[in-house]
Amino acid sequence: MRPLKIVHLYPSEMNIYGDTGNRLVLEKRLQWRGIAYEIVLVAIGDPIPTDADIIIGGGGQDKSQTLVAEDLFTKKSALKALVDSGCVMLMICGMYQLFGKEFVTSAGESIPGLGLIDVTTVAKPGRIIGNVVVDMSGVGEVVGFENHSGRTYLGNGVSNLSKVIRGVGNNDDSGYEGCRYKNVFATYMHGPVLSKNPVLADMLIRLAQSRLGVSTELTILDDTLEQTAANIAAHRPR
């Protein structure tokens, strides 16, 4: 099998909440199992590798998000082809919003998004901040930290990623966190989310492998530290 290609979108611009850690978690979990991989960093102006297996993107400052939004449009067709072919993607916070159809500012102005996933985000006063615990289908309990002022509303074309056990999630009313469309996982969860949720990290790896026709089981790793950290985080004050 060829090395698994992990693509990290905009590491210089979208890196403010520690989401770069997701890359390190994937990298190490592949390395510890002896699975060959390759990391590609995509900056503004760089092309998206058409043979990407896992694409990750994180949260950024408002200013960086504006810069990135412009560049993302030049990559729209490449990304759409990858989404349609089942490429595994993990889009956090700002990138979750940018992948959606539109972003409505507090002034009521609509800024078009990439439209790769059927969600709309509306800016509202009051930030949603705190520890969050969700129940994610196929994974179980997932812990993270949410910090966003945009409220995201899901359309019919996507499904809920997880049900909120503790915290707020997509918006003040729905009780759900994140969304899933094909193999795109979009969420507001920082932490970084893969660091304390190795089951989710491994699910992404497994999905990417099976898309390439690899069916061997992943070697079991000792995740005691990660699980202990997750249990503690789930019970800390919000």
Partner 1 sequence: MKITDLPTIWLCKVVYWVLRKRGSHGAALPGLIAEKLNPGLVKKLCDLPEGIIVVSGTNGKTTTTHLTAEVLRRAGKRVFTNHSGSNMTRGLLASIVRFSTIGGKLPYDIAVLEIDEAYAAKLSPVLRPRAAILTNVLRDQLDRFGEIDHTANLLAELARNTTELVVCNANDSRFAGIATTGECKLVRFGFAPALVDNFPDDDALYAKSRRSVPHKNDFTLKSVVAGKATVSSSGGVRSYDVSGLPGWHNAINITAVVALVDSLLGESDPDLFVGLQPPYGRGEAVLVGDKKFVLQLVKNPAGFRTSMGVLPGASALVVINDFIADGRDVSWLWDVDFSSFADRKLVLCSGTRGYDIAVRLKYSEVVSDVEVDVERAILRFVAESHGGVVFLSYTAMLSARKVFTSLDTKK
**Residues 102-128: b if buried by 16+ CB within 10 A, e if exposed:** ebbeeeeeeeebbebbebbbbbeeeeb
Please state the closest distance from residue 85 (CB atom) to partner 1, in A: 29
**Please, which residue, 87 or 143, has the CB nearer to partner 1?**
143
Catalytically annotated residue among 87, 93, 148, 179: 93
Active site (annotated) includes residue 8: no
Which amino acid, one-letter code, is at 67?
L
Catalytically annotated residue among 8, 87, 148, 190: 190
Whether the Cβ atoms of residue 57 and residue 228 lie closer than 8 Å to each other? no
Active site (annotated) includes residue 87: no
- How far is residue 68's CA from residue 64's CA, in Å, rounded to a whole number? 6
**Which residues are registered as beta bridge partners of 7?**
40, 55
Where would I find the beta strands (DSSP E) of 50-139? Answer: 54-57, 88-92, 102-104, 110-112, 119-136
Helix (H, G, I), strand (E, B) or coil at 232: helix
- How far is residue 57's CA from residue 223's CA, in Å, rounded to a whole number? 24
**Please, which residue, 63 or 109, has the CB nearer to partner 1?**
63
Using CB under 8 A, list all residues that contact partner 1: 11-12, 15-21, 24-25, 28, 43, 61-63, 127, 129-131, 145, 147, 149, 190-192, 195-196, 225-226, 228-229, 232-233, 236-238
Could you tell me the CA-to-CA distances from 30 to 26, 102, 184, 207, 210 in Å, in that order?
6, 35, 20, 13, 15
Active site residues: 93, 190
